[in-house]
Chains A and B, each alone.
Chain A
Amino acid sequence: MPKRITVPFGPQHPVLPEPIHLDLVLEDEKVVDVLPSIGYVHRGLEKLVEKREFTEYIYVAERICGICSYIHSNTYAQGIEKIMNIEVPERAQYLRTIWSEYSRLHSHLLWLGLFADGMGFESVFMNAWRLREHVLDDMEATTGGRVIQGVCKVGGVRKDIAPEKLDEMLKGLKGMEHELHDLTNVFLNDSSVSHRLRGAGVLQKGDAYTLGAVGPTARGSGIAIDLRQTGYAAYGKINFKPVVEQAGDSYARCAVRAKEMFTSIDIIEQCIKKIPDGPVDVKVTGAPDGEYFARAEQPRGEVVHYIKGNGKKNLVRHRVRTPTFTNIPPLVTLLKGCELADVPVIVLSIDPCVGCAER
Chain B
Amino acid sequence: MADESRPETSTDADEPRPTAAIDGSTAGTDDRPAVRTDGAPERGLARADGGTTATRTGGGPGAGDDPGDDPGLLPISAARRKRLARFVRTFRGNTKAAAGLLIVLSLFFVAAFAPAIAPYPIDQTNIEDRSEAPSLDHPFGTDDLGRDIFSRVVMGSRISLYVGFGSITGALLVGTLIGIVAGYYGGLVDELLMRLMDAAMSFPPILLALAVMVVLGPDLNNVVLALAFVYTPYIARVCRSAALAERNEAYVEAATARGESDARIIGSEVLPNITAPLLVQGSLNVAFAMLAEASLSFLGLGAQPPTPSWGLMINTGRGFMETAPWIVLFPGIAIGITVIGFNMLGDGLRDVLDPKVDAIE
A and B assemble together: no
